[in-house]
Every structure is written in C-alpha cells, then in structure tokens.
Chain A
Amino acid sequence: MNMGTDPAQARFDELIDADERIEPRDWMPDEYRKTLVRQIAQHAHSEIIGMQPEGNWLTRAPSLRRKAILTAKVQDEAGHGLYLYGAAETLGTPREELLDRLHTGRQKYSSIFNYPTLTWADVGAIGWLVDGAAIMNQVPLCRCSYGPYARAMIRICKEESFHQRQGFQIMLDLANGTPAQREMAQAALDRWWWPSIMMFGPPDADSVHGGQSMRWGIKRFGNDELRQRFIDATVPQADLLGLTIPDPDLHLDEATGHYDHGPIDWDHFWDVVKGNGPCNRSRMETRVGAHERGAWVRDAATAYADKRAALVGEVQETAA
C-alpha cells in the first residue's frame, strides 16, 4: 500500500486498495484521470463508429422484423456511445472536445470497425463474435474503480446480450439454410474470426499500459486471459453451427481444458490501427460528414431555445 505523505493521494490509494469506487469529485492522480478520459472516450468513439458496419445493412435486412431488430441494435450502439461520453465528461473534458478528438484522429476507436460488412451474414458474425468479444471485455469493466464508468458498463452489458443473441440467431438461420446461405455464413466467419480475437489487444508481454491500469483497478484481467476465455466459449458455439473456425492449429488441449490457437498476425493488426485497414478512411468520412450535415439541426434547436428564452425574458420584463 502506498503510504504517500499527501493525504489526498493516501485517501485515493486507500479507496483503490479497498476496491471502492472513485467518484467524480474525489481527488485523483492526473495520470489516472488522463488514462480514463482516453479509455472511456475511445470506448465511446468505438460505439459510434460501430454503428456504421451494421448501419450498412439496415435497408437490405432480409425481412421487416430483422430490419426493426437491426435498427434497435444500431440505436443501442448510439446509446452506449452517449452513456460513455457522459461518463468521460464527469472527468472534466467537454463533449465537443471529445468529438473533436475523434474527428481529427487524435483519439482512436476499436480497429475491428475498420472492416467492411460484405454480406448479411457479416451482420450475424458481428453480433456473434464482435459483440461476444466486447461482452467478454466489458463484464470485468462493470467493476472498474471509476464509478461513472462502472455504472455505464453495467447498463451497457445488460443491453449487449441481446446483440450477441441477435447475431447468433442470424448465423443459426443461415447455417441451417440453403447451401448458398451456409457458404455465406462460413465466409463471414472466415473474415471476422481473426479480427475478433485481435479485439482483446496485443499479448500482455507487449502491452505498455497494462500494469498501471491493473494497479488502478481500471483493468481487471490481462488481454491474453480474456482472449482465451472468449475462444473457449466460442469454439463450441461454432461447432453447434456446424461451421469451421479458420484456424488449422485450433485444438483442445486435454491437459489444460483450453483451446490452443494458431499465431495471430499482429503486424496486420498494427497496420490497421495505423490507418491501413479496408475502411478507416470511409469510417471517418462518414462520421465527420454526418456531424457536419447535421449541424443545421443543432443550430435550429439552439436558435429555437434562445428565441423562447428571450420571449420569456420579455414577458417577465413587461409583467414587472
């Protein structure tokens, strides 16, 4: 336990050591605040950008019901982004600043969203694998040391489980459908498997900030452990679908009870993070474009509110 002479630091350490929550008005180290603003904001950006690959299929979902369900899912992603921006703002950075960091590329979003959704089966694969991996990451975050982030995560996790079931349902329908549908499902799995397991981030040995985040109760489990849990949970699901995970080295280690997997192409991962994925430019253009094209709505709302406030002011003056 850190016995700092500064009482505020000591109080912070005491709370962290006791696994208590830090709240917005508590003193916290600058680095803790900065790390959280970055992590929470990038999480929020990921939700907003994540609306795009699925939004791509809203007009082409195979039935009205599936269209409504996909719309609900995309609305949820927007909502998740908003809960997270709200949590990030409690640390002192205004909403406009956070959006600006996304729009100018100063902050990133999860690179899983830099891949295209080529078929309807991709929508299923995303729900099953990408949301599945997100859930694996997000459940431990419900116990993150920073109160507002933990509470946002609890809300998000409740909503996220429908997302994974929606995706798996799509995969089930396709895998049990015509040969062409089955092929489409397999092709989507082939495209989304490796990017999904990369979502957990580089191996712990290569992870720069992991240690400090663990000590501060922001991160509860290592990347490798979460990745392993996800693979162990997902392989039986693929078996149920009768689909083949595109990893010839994937096999159950009877001794450990875990699935060993083939080598992950981390060069490809970093290349996509750096901006060379299939959709990096398109995602940013779409996001910035939507923000700019929506400016008239925000302007109109502001003008209306100002006009009404002025009117109320006038009426009060006249009455006085």
Chain B
Amino acid sequence: MTGATAGWPLWEVFVRAKRGVSHVHAGTVHAPDAELALQNARDLFTRRSEGVSLWVVKSSEITASDPDDRGSLFDPAADKSFRHPTDFVLPDEVANM
C-alpha cells in the first residue's frame, strides 16, 4: 500500500495498572516512532485511568516460542510435580508449612 503510514511499524503496548503490579500486555498501536507510539498508547489504552506506566515495544523486537515446539520446549517440567508444595503430604499436626 502507498501512503506515509505504510512504513509505520507495529508496537506492542504494556500497561502497569498501579505500583506493585507488573506491566500487562494490552494490545497494539501503529506509530512512526517511539514517542508517538507512547502518545497513541496513552490515548487508546488509558482513557479510564487504567495505568500509571506504559511500555511500547516494536513487535519486530519480540522473539516468540514456536507453538509447534511447545511439546519439547515445556516437556522437562511435566514430570516434576515435586516443584509444587502440594506434592508433599505432611502429617496434619505440622503447622505453618
């Protein structure tokens, strides 16, 4: 497509709702640079005071795991339920553990 915006990259937007919680993915904006990406993200994702902090990251900078690899990628954890505290059954008398 022709036009000025054809070269505008896509940015992923992350919003921190309040101090103490982490930034959560909210969606995407198009912008020619980081400054406008932040402005557009502010206009699009925080009209209802949803955030105290914004991150914008060019979508092309994100490396994602391949869905087809999920089996082998996450397999090592599958047989290690002992990483969960509930896997240990202690006598009822044991308190605070």
Contact = CB atoms under 8 A, between A and B. Distances in A.
The A interface is mostly helix, strand or loop, or mixed, namely: helix
Interface residues of A, number: 29
A159 B45 CA distance: 11
- Most chain A Cβ neighbours within 10 Å, of B4, B10, B36, B66: B4
A95 B47 CA distance: 23
Nearest to B26: A155
Contact of B6 (A23, A96, A304): A96
A8 to B, nearest CB: 9
B1 A302 contact: no
A274 B64 CA distance: 43
B21 to A, nearest CB: 18
A249 interface: no
Contact of A152 (B4, B27, B36): B27
A149 interface: no
A79 B47 CA distance: 9
A151 B37 CA distance: 21
Nearest to A151: B27
A82 interface: yes
A86 B28 CA distance: 6
Interface string B11-55: 000000000000000011111110010000001100110000000
Contacts of A304: 32-33
Contact of A82 (B1, B4, B44, B64): B44
A25 B70 CA distance: 12
Interface of A: 23, 25-26, 72, 75-76, 79, 82-83, 86, 89, 94-97, 100, 152, 155, 159, 295, 298-299, 301-302, 304-306, 308-309
Interface of B: 1, 3-8, 10, 27-33, 36, 43-44, 47-48, 64, 66-67
25 contacts: A23-B67, A25-B64, A25-B66, A26-B67, A76-B47, A79-B43, A79-B44, A83-B27, A86-B28, A89-B10, A94-B1, A95-B5, A96-B5, A96-B6, A97-B1, A295-B4, A298-B4, A298-B5, A299-B4, A302-B7, A302-B32, A304-B33, A305-B32, A305-B33, A308-B33
Per CB-CB distance, the 3 closest pairs between chain A and chain B, nearest first, are A96-B1, A305-B32, A305-B33
